[in-house]
Amino acid sequence: MSAQDTVRHGEQLHLIRLRVNGIGHDVEVPARRLLSDALRHDLGLTGTHVGCEHGVCGACTVLMDGKPVRACLIFAVSAVDAEITTVEGLTEPDGSLSPVQQAFSECHGLQCGFCTPGFLTTITAGLNENPCPTHEEAREMIAGNLCRCTGYQNIVKSVERAAEITQAKEAESA
Amino acid sequence: MTTKLMGQGIQRVEDQRFLRGKGRYVDDVHADPATLHAAVLRSPHAHARIVDIDVADVLEIEGVHLVWTYEDLGPLSAPMGEPLPLLIPHPDLTQGRTQYALAKDEVNHVGEAVAFVVAEDRYLAEDAVGRIKVTWEVLPPVVGVEAARAADRLVHEDVPGNIGARSEQKTGDVEAAMAKAPHRLELDLDIERSACTPLEGRGTVARWDPDVNRLQVWSSTQTSTGVRAAIAVKLGLDLGQVDVITPDVGGGFGVKVVHPWPEELLVPLAARALNRVVKYTEDRREHFISSSHERGQIQHIEVGFDDDGRLLALDVMFWHDHGAYTPYGLIVPIITSTQLLGPYKPEVYRVVYESLYTNTVIVTPYRGAGRPQGCFAMERTMDAIAEYLGKDRTEVRAVNFIQPDEFPYDQGLIFQDGRELEYDSGDYPASLEKIKELIGWDEFPAFRAEMAAQGRTVGIGLACYVEGTGVGPYEGAHINIETTGKVKVATGLTTQGQGHATVFAQLVADELGVKFEDVEVVTGDTRRMPYAVGTFASRAAVMSGSAIHLAAKRTKEKVLKIAAEALEADEADLEIVDGVVSVKGSPGASMDLATISVLSNPLRYAFDEASKAATQFSVGDPGKPPVAEDDEPGLEGKDFYSPERATYASGMHAVIVETDPDTAEITILKYAVVHDCGHLINPMIVEGQIHGGVAQGVGGALFERMAYDESGQLLNASFMDFLMPFVTEIPDGIAIDHLETPSPLNPLGIKGAGEAGVIPGSAVFASAIEDAERIPITAMPISPSELFTLRALHAETPTTQERPA
C-alpha cells in the first residue's frame, strides 16, 4: 500500500519527510496538520510553542531555510522541501548556547520562557541579516513577537548583547 | 566566608532549559503516546436556555471516544452534578453563583462550557464538537455595568437587581466630616475590562492508574494543592489518591489561580472513565471567552479637603462588574475598596460597592487585582484637588502621606485576607523625592516650554500606590540533603516565570552555607509538598521564601548536631562553607555534607561504600537505639511560615507623554519607577518584574479592552484584535530606583514585588494626558481616537472638574 492510500479516521494521510535541525524525519500527517503540531506532537520537538494559532504572537516561530516563519500558519505538508530550524537546533554543535541564547541568559531576557523560542529564532535570523543593529533596529527586530512577562526591555538588551558576543567570537576566530 | 547571595543579581538557573527548548509546559507532557485529546463545545450565546442537545451524530465519528453533557456527569460522580465551588465565600456575598462543569439548562456568557468531547486528536475532537446540535432559547443579555445597574433584565432570575454583593466599610462619620470640609469635589470615573492573557493558555493532562487507584494530573495552574483538593472532592477520591504536578507555566498573572476550571475536572474524570491519558490544551479564542477578565468598574468619588489639600472626608461608591459567576468571591472589589487609600490617611473614609452580575466572562484577579482601579480613583482625586487648589500635584500628595514614624499604621479597614489593613513599614516622602528626581519633575516646566516652542505638546503625570503583598495563610518548605551532598528543596507553591528556582536557591545557599549550584528547587508538585496555597498576590517570595529560610535553619541545626558529634566539637564552634562543615580555626577538622547525610541515616543494608559507613554495625553507641527518641533518620528540615498579616510594598510611577496635535497619538517619552519591596533577594529579577508590570500597565492604560457588543459577543477575542503591547508600544528604557524599608513581619524583611509595575498604569497616564491636554481624563483606557473625540467635545463645551455649588 502506498503512503497516499493510508487513511486514518476517514482522513487521508500523507507520508512526508521533514528536515529539522539537520535530521530527516518521516511522518504521516493529514493535509491539514499544522507544522507547529507536527513538530511538537509528531516529532516531539516541544520547544516550539503555540500561543495563538493565528500568526500574531510569534511563539511558534521557526526558521525555514534560515527565514523566520510562523509554524502555526504553515501546513506540515508544505514544509517538505525546506530545511527547518527549531529552538532545539540553535545551540552550537558542542551543545553550548548560541550567542543569542547566551545573551538572553545574561540579560534576563526571559521570565516564563514560553515566548522565548520564538524570540530566539527570530533574533537569530535577524542578526544573520543585520549583525550590528542600532538600538532602533534591535527594537524593530523583535517587534513582531509578543511577550507578556518581560516588558521587552531586557529582550532588546539581549539582541544588542548577542550582536556583541557574535562579533567577539568572530574576532577571536579571525 | 562565602559571599552572601541575597541581594545579588544571580543569573537564573531555569533559563538553561527554557533557552534550549527543554522547558516542560503542560502541553509538552508526553505521559503516553496514545494520549487522547479533549475539546469543549462552548455557548455561542451570552444568555440562553438549553432546550435540547443532540449528540447522536458525534459518537459515530471514527476516533471519537466520549461525548458528555451535563446529564452524563452526576452518574459518574455525584458532586460533578453540583455547581463548581465558590472558593472564597464572604458574608457580604449574599448572592454568590457558580457555573456547572457543563452548563445545566442555562448559559450565562458566550464561551460557557456546554459539552465535552474526547477523541484521538484535537482536530477530530473539534470536528466532533462541530457536529453537536443544540437547540437554544435565546434570552436577553445584560452587558456592562450600566445595564447591570439598570436591572431591567436579570442575569440570574433569582438575583434581584443583578447585585451579587453590597459591601460597606467606613472609619467614621463621613457625612459630618464632608459637611465641615472647606472644599468639596466630585468625580465620576470609568475603567474597562482587560485580562491576564498569558502566552500559554490553560491546560490539563490526567492519567488514571487502575493498578493503584491513583490519579495523576498535570495542570497549568497557580495552585497545585487547590486543584488537587477540588479534583478529590468532585471525583469522590481521597486527597491521597490525587497527585497534581505543575510543570513550567507559561505565565499566569492571576487567571490560573481560579480553580477548578471545568476542564480540570472533566479531563481527570474522562481519564478515569476511559482508562486512558487525556489532555486538554486551551486555544486562544477559548482563553478570551472562557477563562476570566478583570478591571471593569464605574466609580463615584466625593472628597472634602482643606486649603492644603488635606483629605478630611473621602466617600467612594463603585460598581464592580464581576461577570456571570462569582467563583473567586469578592477579592477584587475588596482590594479596590481598601487599597484605594494608598499611602494616604484621610481623616474619614467610607467606601461602598456593589458587585454586579453581567452576561460576560467571569472576573477574577488579574495582576494588580483591583488595585489599578483603586489607584485610579485615589490618584485622579489627588490630581483634581491639586487642580482645584492650583497646587503642585506632588505637594497635595505629600501633605496626605502617612509619615515614616507612624508605622505600623492601621487604616481601620479589613483587608482581603480578613485581617486589619495595617501597614507594616514604608517611607513615602523618601519615595516621592526619588521619583521627582528620576523623572525630572522640577525641571519639567522648562522642558514643556522648550517643547511648546517647537509646537509640541507634552504632559507629566505621577501616581502612588501601596500594595498589600505576601498574604497568608501559610507556605511550607522541605529541604533534604542527599548523600551526594546536593540539596533538594521543595515548596508547594507554583512558578510562572518569577525565577523561584533561582531566588529560593539563593536563600538556601546563604543559610546552609552550600554552593548555589548544589541547590535544586522544586515547586508545585503535591507529591513533594502537599501543603501549600499558591503563587498569587505577590506572595511567593514572602511566604515560600520565609518558609524555605526557616526550613534551611532547621536543616542546618541538624547538620551541626551530627557534625559536632562526629567531629567531637561544640556546635557553636562549627561553620559551613561551600558544603563543608569545619571547626572554626581548625581547617583539618572538617566533614562534607554528603558524609553528614550518610551518617544521619543508620542503615540496615550497605548499598555502596558510603552507605557501608552508615550501617548499624558501623556507627553509633550499641547501648542506645540507632535513632534517638527525639530524632528522625535523614538530613532533612521542614518548616512553615504563617504571618499575622500582609506586608505592604509601595511605590510611585511617573511618566512624560507627548500627544500629537493632529492625530492625538500618545507617545511615551520617559517612564520612571520608584519601588519599595523591602530587602531585595535578586534585584535583576525584581526589575524584570517591574518591566513586565509596566508593560501590562501601559497595555491597560492605552490599549487593552474587551469589546463586547450589545448581545454579549466579545468582538476582539484574538490577538489580531485585542491590542497587547509589542515592544513598539512600551517605553524604551524605564528608570528604576529602589527604596528598602524592611518588613518586620518576616525573617528576611521582604515584601512582594510581582504586581507593583502594573498598579498605577491607568492613573499615571491619565494624569500625564490630562496635564498635556488640559482636559479632564476620567475613563481608561484611552485611545487616540477617544482623545481626539474628547478634544472636539471640550472645544465645544469646555469642561472642568465639577466644583461645589
Q: Is some CB atom of chain A closer than 8 A to the CB atom of B250?
A: yes
- Taking an 8 Å cut-off on Cβ atoms, the answer to whether B21 and A50 are in contact is no
Count chain A–chain B contacts defined by CB atoms under 8 A: 182
Write the pLDDT tens digit of every residue in A67-115: 999 999 999 999 998 999 999 999 999 999 999 999 999 999 999 999 9
3-class SS of residue B562: helix
3-class SS of residue B800: coil
Give the residue, B108 or A9, on which the prediction is more confident.
B108
- Taking an 8 Å cut-off on Cβ atoms, the answer to whether A154 and B22 are in contact is no
**Which of chain A's residues have a Cβ under 8 Å away from the Cβ of B719?**
51-52, 54, 56-57, 146
DSSP assignment of B654-689: EEEEEE-TTT--EEEEEEEEEEE-BS-S-HHHHHHH
- Taking an 8 Å cut-off on Cβ atoms, the answer to whether A113 and B719 are in contact is no
Low-confidence ranges of chain B (pLDDT < 70): 1-2, 798-805
Strand order in the sheet with B586-592: B574-577, B580-583, B586-592
3-class SS of residue B503: helix
Q: CA of A157, closest CA in chain B: separation in Å?
A: 10
Tell me the residues of chain A between 25 and 64 that have a Cβ less than 8 Å away from chain B: 30, 32-33, 37, 40, 44-54, 56-57, 59
- Taking an 8 Å cut-off on Cβ atoms, the answer to whether B21 and A117 are in contact is yes
| Burial zone of B33 (CB within 10 Å; 0-12 exposed, 13-18 middle, 19+ buried) | exposed
**Which of chain A's residues have a Cβ under 8 Å away from the Cβ of B123?**
30, 32-33
Q: Are B265 and B230 in contact (CB under 8 A)?
A: yes
Report how far residue B643's alpha carbon sits from residue B651's, in angstroms, rounded to the nearest whole number: 22
- Taking an 8 Å cut-off on Cβ atoms, the answer to whether A151 and B24 are in contact is no
**Per-residue confidence (pLDDT) for residue B221, from 0 to 100:** 97
**Which of chain B's residues have a Cβ under 8 Å away from the Cβ of A146?**
199, 719, 724, 726
Here the cell at position B156 is: 440570574
DSSP-assigned beta bridge partners for residue B242? B215
Report how far residue B250's alpha carbon sits from residue A112's, in angstroms, rounded to the nearest whole number: 5
B27: Cα within 13 Å, side-chain hemisphere: 27
Bridging pattern class, strands B666-676 and B734-738 = parallel
**Per-residue confidence (pLDDT) for residue B798, from 0 to 100:** 66
Q: Are B602 and B619 in contact (CB under 8 A)?
A: yes
**Per-residue confidence (pLDDT) for residue A117, from 0 to 100:** 98
Report how far residue A53's alpha carbon sits from residue A68's, in angstroms, rounded to the nearest whole number: 16
Cβ-based neighbours of B761, under 8 Å, separated by 6 or more: B372, B653, B694, B696, B697, B698, B699, B700, B701
Of A122, A139, A150, A109, nearest to B199 (Cα)? Answer: A150
**Which of chain A's residues have a Cβ under 8 Å away from the Cβ of B15?**
104-105, 110, 113
Of B209, B265, B226, B492, nearest to B364 (Cα)? Answer: B226
Report how far residue B21's alpha carbon sits from residue B539's, in angstroms, rounded to the nearest whole number: 29
**Which of chain A's residues have a Cβ under 8 Å away from the Cβ of B63?**
8-10
**Mean of the per-residue pLDDT values of chain A:** 95
Residue B566 Cα distances to B115, B411, B446, B609, angstroms: 65, 54, 72, 18
Report how far residue B330's alpha carbon sits from residue B143's, in angstroms, rounded to the nearest whole number: 20
Report phi then psi at B37, rounded to 5: -125, 140
DSSP-assigned beta bridge partners for residue B520? B488
Q: How many CB atoms lie within 10 A of CB B365?
A: 25
**Per-residue confidence (pLDDT) for residue B400, from 0 to 100:** 98
- Taking an 8 Å cut-off on Cβ atoms, the answer to whether A40 and B497 are in contact is no
Report how far residue B752's alpha carbon sits from residue B390's, in angstroms, rounded to the nearest whole number: 36
Of B30, B628, B588, B27, nearest to A51 (Cα)? Answer: B27
**Which of chain B's residues have a Cβ under 8 Å away from the Cβ of A49?**
25, 199-200, 250
**Per-residue confidence (pLDDT) for residue B800, from 0 to 100:** 54
Q: Where are the beta strands (DSSP E) in B557-684?
A: 574-577, 580-583, 586-592, 636-641, 647-659, 666-676
Report how far residue B424's alpha carbon sits from residue B421's, in angstroms, rounded to the nearest whole number: 9
List Cβ<8 Å contacts ≥24 apart for B388-395.
Answer: B388/B183, B388/B185, B388/B801, B388/B803, B389/B183, B389/B307, B389/B308, B389/B309, B391/B309, B393/B462, B393/B767, B394/B432, B394/B436, B394/B441, B394/B462, B395/B309
Tell me the residues of chain A between 100 and 159 that have a Cβ less than 8 Å away from chain B: 101, 104-106, 108, 110-117, 120, 135, 139, 142-156
Four-CA torsion B508, B509, B515, B520, nearest 10 degrees: 20
Q: Are A73 and A37 in contact (CB under 8 A)?
A: no
- Taking an 8 Å cut-off on Cβ atoms, the answer to whether A97 and B14 are in contact is no
**Per-residue confidence (pLDDT) for residue A5, from 0 to 100:** 66
Q: Is some CB atom of chain A closer than 8 A to the CB atom of B15?
A: yes
Report how far residue B390's alpha carbon sits from residue B402's, in angstroms, rounded to the nearest whole number: 23
Of A122, A114, A167, nearest to A145 (Cα)? Answer: A122
- Taking an 8 Å cut-off on Cβ atoms, the answer to whether A32 and B123 are in contact is yes
Q: Are B266 and B195 in contact (CB under 8 A)?
A: no
Here the cell at position B343 is: 499611602
Tell me the residues of chain B between 259 and 288 that have a Cβ less than 8 Å away from chain A: 283-284
How far out from the chain centre does Cα B295 lie?
Answer: 14
Identify how many contiguous H helices and E strands chain A contains and give both numbers: 5, 6
- Taking an 8 Å cut-off on Cβ atoms, the answer to whether B123 and A40 are in contact is no
**Per-residue confidence (pLDDT) for residue B620, from 0 to 100:** 74
Report how far residue B340's alpha carbon sits from residue B463's, in angstroms, rounded to the nearest whole number: 12
Nearest CA in chain A to B726: A146
Q: Are B12 and A105 in contact (CB under 8 A)?
A: yes
Report how far residue B122's alpha carbon sits from residue B38's, in angstroms, rounded to the nearest whole number: 6
**Per-residue confidence (pLDDT) for residue B586, from 0 to 100:** 84
Residue B698 Cα distances to B492, B671, B725, angstroms: 32, 10, 7
DSSP-assigned beta bridge partners for residue B469? B647
- Taking an 8 Å cut-off on Cβ atoms, the answer to whether B497 and A117 are in contact is no
- Taking an 8 Å cut-off on Cβ atoms, the answer to whether B20 and A97 are in contact is yes
Q: Is some CB atom of chain A closer than 8 A to the CB atom of B150?
A: no
Cβ-based neighbours of B631, under 8 Å, separated by 6 or more: none
Which among A8, A86, A112 has the least Cβ separation from residue B251? A112
State the average pLDDT over residues A4-11: 82
Q: Is some CB atom of chain A closer than 8 A to the CB atom of B63?
A: yes
Here the cell at position A94 is: 558542542
Letter for the amino acid at B142? V
Which among B19, B692, B719 has the least Cβ separation from residue A116? B19
Which among A45, A116, A154 has the least Cβ separation from residue B688? A154
Report how far residue B81's alpha carbon sits from residue B103's, in angstroms, rounded to the nearest whole number: 10
Report how far residue A17's alpha carbon sits from residue B622's, in angstroms, rounded to the nearest whole number: 69
Report how far residue B508's alpha carbon sits from residue B5's, in angstroms, rounded to the nearest whole number: 9
Q: Are B344 and B466 in contact (CB under 8 A)?
A: no
The interface predicted TM-score (ipTM) is 0.96
Q: Is some CB atom of chain A closer than 8 A to the CB atom of B684?
A: yes
Which among A144, A148, A155 has the least Cβ separation from residue B251? A148
Q: CA of A99, closest CA in chain B: separation in Å?
A: 11
- Taking an 8 Å cut-off on Cβ atoms, the answer to whether B685 and A51 are in contact is no
Q: How many CB atoms lie within 10 A of CB B775?
A: 17
Q: How many CB atoms lie within 10 A of CB A15?
A: 12
Here the cell at position B291 is: 477563562
